[in-house]
Amino acid sequence: MQGNNQTIQGLVGEALRESTDLAQKELTLFRTEISQNIRTLFLGLAMVVVAAIFAIAALMLLTESLVEWLATVVNSEALAALIVGGVMALIAIGLGLWGRSTMTSSSLAPERTMRSLKRDAEVLSERGA
């Protein structure tokens, strides 16, 4: 009777150690995945900033000369300014949307950790059954 009791205690102790080890590994995986996802978020943010800088630089460098050239073609400085401003705005919007698309909340989800936790739960439920 005493031998069975020690065996049960040993099994419970081993199960607790394995559970603790598993939880630590899952936490490590979670931290790693979150840090990678945050890096991706910052990369997306950097693209948005670069897009804004590009838009400003393009406006500063090209707008005046392009408006003057287009004004001679369409015989209207106001119409030329509207056309050039519209094109520059479309470029800025396109780059901004591209950068924002990389910063979706779904890209931050710790997918590998969630898959691993799901597998662990399945294994534990199979062992219990």
What is the band of 1 on the pLDDT scale with cuts at 50, 70, 90? very low
What is the band of 53 on the pLDDT scale with cuts at 50, 70, 90? very high
26-38 mean pLDDT = 89
- On whether the pTM is more than 0.85, the answer is no
104 φψ region: left (φ > 0), alpha (ψ -120 to 50), beta (else): beta
Decide if 120 contacts 29 (C-beta within 8 A).
no
Percent of the chain topping pLDDT 90: 29
pLDDT per residue over 89-119, tens digit each? 998 899 899 988 877 766 667 778 788 888 8
- Domain boundaries in the chain? 2-128
